Structure 1
């Protein structure tokens, strides 16, 4: 696999405070980020980070302290992230969309000594608890003054590459979110994965809509420190404003996650979508149909990648086309597919995807204060992803689905991902979700929830006829339920544990004598 010529230097080289200092010295006037029409240069960013670090130090933040951050996408948020890393404190990003038990879990499990929160979210933070600093200001530019006064100088701590500088909670679909310990080296390596995937040219612009509390957004903070590119940041993804924002910002790259390409394809064509500079949309979970339609309609290239927060975000990259699955393993990692006993299986056979570093450590040291789940994820030097996949004869990895997201039907394991991938290509379907429900005899039956495409009506009988030509008999759904939307995690994953197992009031293929199995 070709990639950045300096990839080994990035992994082994300067820690993040050093990268920031070097970028500010080499190109202080280079644009780092645009937000709301205001541009922040690399030099200005470095000055804001220094000021914020001094204020945080005056608040008592010390190396190793955990600081929870509930801020929207804004230059202030980027400044806080970098200031905490400069201080060698641990940034604990908290999704402002969390509510109730999920929010309480992150704040309790992360056990922060300080909480930084935007005024629009301040009501989410309960009492009693650690000290809270509220950001109550408007404006498009960074201004660290909301953090209080600075009292004298502070010592810049470049620190060690293996310092844990972030605690990123991964969305749990069946259980509480896990706090992934992320090192300085891992964050740099996540940004390196962006370079492998997108191959940026000088002056190009990355449209940043994804919340910075997710690794997909967080990794972008460090890309302009590695290359002379600019971030065009918006507060959130908006399908109605997307093309106007992309066009006005001059964006050349966009991270597509959570099905945003399909969302854009479902909208009527507009003049703006034909007059942009986007040359690549990259991310995960794109169906073959969406890949091809997006390239044809929007005039850009699609790239697919796969990975986990636990392994520095990226494991594989595919820039060749849908036939290559999720692509080839990046050179600083090694991956394998193993059976339930930990033995590697041959190409073409499926099993659990496992990963380990190929050289310097770029896999998490473990889950925060959770030795049991850390131990369960490790086996024989490998980190178990919990995902199923297979390698083809060309060395491309093909993702099959979560190991715990399958149904046992008539002696066969049915992958939800495989069934959903097929059903999602039906023209009336925007998205689907498969679960198992108790069968009268035997193991389980298959129930599929359908979110219709915009303006479409789902005919369950027609859909089953269509599926019969594309699915094995044991993969055929018995029950079909049409929904207006799905319960989702803050990162837009469907929470299948909250999908109803009841089979009343939904289409039953067997009851209508139209079963294909």
Structure 2
């Protein structure tokens, strides 16, 4: 039975073995788990963030002290504390302090500005905002009366003039540890974090992540990566993203160590991992391309990393990546709302596949009418879990969207996949990214994979633009490999050799970088809005677009590709 803070999965006591913690009764709340590990691991290292080094015992003490500091500021169980700051020890301490107190942390994307920052901040109805001094002006412009807790308060004070008409926001120094308090009686189903999704296809929504879900993430991914207490997990993905936050929980569940970097750098990726003493690291699909695009270096093998969780790894790079860096890529499928529901495991990769269903989960592939699709036929992926509190509880203050996505006992992912006869799943596309041309459905993912096999292409994004035939045309934006001058006609010829005629892109365009979220996801909605520009190469130069289509496309032509925002992950 699951009751209160000490709720556990029933089973035997923990035993430290050569392969990790052999226990089935892991507490399903963050403070209970941290306390147990502090008792078991004591002075063993847990956290490394910049110059800060903390043991398990010290981390638990910091959590209790931060909870005391938050309580002294008037924060109570259920209150929400937002954060606008990079990967810093203070953000992890805020997360742990909120978890200890029964409050909710709301880490926000540091790239947000203006309305895109105001919307999630106000929708979360936060009680306070922890903000880095360098981001204080942006916060002041939208915070209204919300108290701002400023990090690095000893730096120059914010300029009131930069805040425009906003004068009501009280500015205070960020809270520091106070007298420790006992953990609140939180339950596994209580929300511990609200994570706003990237909004690549529409407005971002706050996913309510309960304590139990984050602990279960730590278990499922830890098993897939075969983590042991000897491992050092290193990530430089942002903490407002589920991947990085869950990596911390993976370390705690496994009794391992966790190292947090500041931001992703393709050129320094393995140098940073080596500096951290990492044995495990984390990549997103686009980042695999970026790291592989760099020139060979002695740093390629001067590290201890043997495996990396790398969802959406490019099929053509899995083997070359392992050969060059000595690192096996572990693929899988999970979303902020779910968990690791599909996975490959270490040493069981099948390039191009998401993996098989992970224990504790069920998956279906359904057609447009909700019927089970036969093996080999694409359809939407639906998933559910038998693990207690294994999924998010819904979307913050959005019952309609919650009911739409979590319906009939299944979470509707919006991803189009194929289940092969042997139970392995392959990603086809986001359902919203499927392109309809010449009466055929085209997977933008499959076209991208063909483009990425061209030796001169480092990154590719494929999307639909309007056609004069009331359907879609296929457009691709390409980032060349370093020092490569792509011949777009030759790229089109390459596609003609590799793709059916209806899937060959009509429009091609070069870019220095693709617009991405700070977690490396391509902002395809931005590309679709921009559409065809004067710099776009047309495979049919005579052109067959009607005046109506030209007019629709020209709305965004003046922006030009040079104004695309660069990814914070680059």
TM-score normalised over the length of structure 1: 0.92
- Alpha-carbon offset, residue 299 of structure 1: 1.3
Q: What's the counterpart of residue 210 of structure 2?
A: 183
Q: 1:58 aligns with which of 72, 88, 109?
A: 72
1:75 maps to 89
Q: Deviations over 1:373-414 (max 9, x none)?
A: 112213321110011001111111111110001111011111
Question: Whole-Å Cα distance in 2 between the matches of residues 432 and 239 of structure 1?
Answer: 17
Matched, 1:97 2:132: no
The equivalent of 2:342 in structure 1 is: 316
**Aligned residue for 2:308?**
281
- 2: CA distance, partners of 1:377 / 1:308: 12
Aligned partner of residue 432 in structure 2, secondary structure:
coil
Q: Are 1:217 and 2:215 counterparts?
A: no
Shift of 1:154: 3.9
Aligned equivalent of 1:476: 504
Aligned pair 1:22/2:48, yes or no? no
Contact 1:208 1:234 in 2 (8 A): yes
Report Cα offsets for 1:316-351 as digits up to 9, x if no partner.
111323346000111111111111121111211110
The answer for the alignment partner of 2:532 in structure 1 is 502
> Which residue pairs with 2:358 in the alignment?
330
Distance 1:399 1:129, change over 3 A: farther
> How much has 1:443 moved relative to structure 2?
1.5
Moved over 6 A (4+): none
Query: 1:437 and 1:224, CA in 2 relative to 1: closer, same or farther beyond 3 A?
Result: closer
The Cα shift of 1:488 comes to 2.0
Question: 1:283-332 CA deviation, whole Å, 9 max, x = no partner?
Answer: 212112211111111112111111101003x2211132334600011111
Alpha-carbon shift at residue 278 of structure 1 (Å): 0.8
| Secondary structure in structure 2 of the residue aligned to 1:176 | coil
TM-aligned CA deviation for residue 224 of structure 1? 2.7
Select 2:200's aligned residue among 173, 183, 186: 173
User: Which residue, out of 144, 147, 156, partners 2:175?
Assistant: 147
Q: Cα gap change, 1:438/1:71 in structure 2, threshold over 3 Å: closer, same or farther?
A: closer
Q: d(CA) in 2 for partners of 1:291 and 1:378?
A: 33
Matched, 1:35 2:49: yes
Secondary structure of the equivalent of 2:394?
A: coil
Q: CA deviation at 1:129?
A: 2.9
Q: Distance in 1 between matches of 2:460 and 2:267?
A: 23
Q: Aligned to 2:323, which of 296, 301, 308?
A: 296
Residue 424 (structure 1) shift: 1.5
Deviates more, 1:116-125 or 1:343-352: 116-125
Residue of structure 2 equivalent to 1:423: 451
User: Which whole-Å CA distance do the structure 2 matches of 1:9 and 1:348 have between them?
Assistant: 39
- Name the structure 1 match of 2:159: none
1:453, CA displacement in angstroms? Answer: 1.4
Distance 1:51 1:186 in 2: 24
2:125 matched residue in structure 1: 111
Return 267-276 or 488-497, whichever deviates more: 488-497
Aligned to 2:234: 207
2:292 is aligned to 265
**Corresponding residue of 2:279:** 252
Mapped pair 1:197 → 2:213: no
Secondary structure at the aligned position of 2:61 is classed as helix
Tell me, in whole angstroms, the C-alpha distance in 1 between the residues paired with 2:436 and 2:20: 44
Assess if the C-alpha contact under 8 Å between 2:20 and 2:255 holds in 1.
Answer: no
CA distance in 2, matches of 1:221, 1:149: 21
Offset of residue 456 of structure 1: 1.4
Q: Residue 454 of structure 1 aligns with which residue?
A: 482
2:412 paired with 1:391 = no
Q: Look up the SS of the partner of 1:278 in the other structure.
A: coil
CA 1:38–1:371 in structure 2 vs 1: closer, same or farther (change >3 Å)?
Answer: closer
Range with bigger deviation, 435-444 or 409-418: 435-444
Aligned residues between the structures: 502
> Which secondary structure state, in structure 1, belongs to the residue aligned with residue 416 of structure 2?
strand
Where in structure 2 are there 5+ consecutive unaligned residues? Answer: 1-18, 155-172, 544-570
SS at match of 2:520: coil
Q: Look up the SS of the partner of 2:362 in the other structure.
A: strand
Cα shift at 1:229: 1.2
How much does 1:93 deviate?
Answer: 0.9
Q: Paired residue for 1:135?
A: 151
Aligned mates of 1:356, 1:8 — CA distance in 2? 21
The two structures, once aligned, show a CA RMSD in angstroms of 2.2
Structure 1: give runs of 5+ residues left out of the alignment.
139-144
Moved more, 350-359 or 129-138: 129-138
SS of the equivalent of 1:226 reads helix
Asked whether the equivalents of residues 90 and 167 of structure 1 are also in contact (C-alpha less than 8 Å), the reply is yes
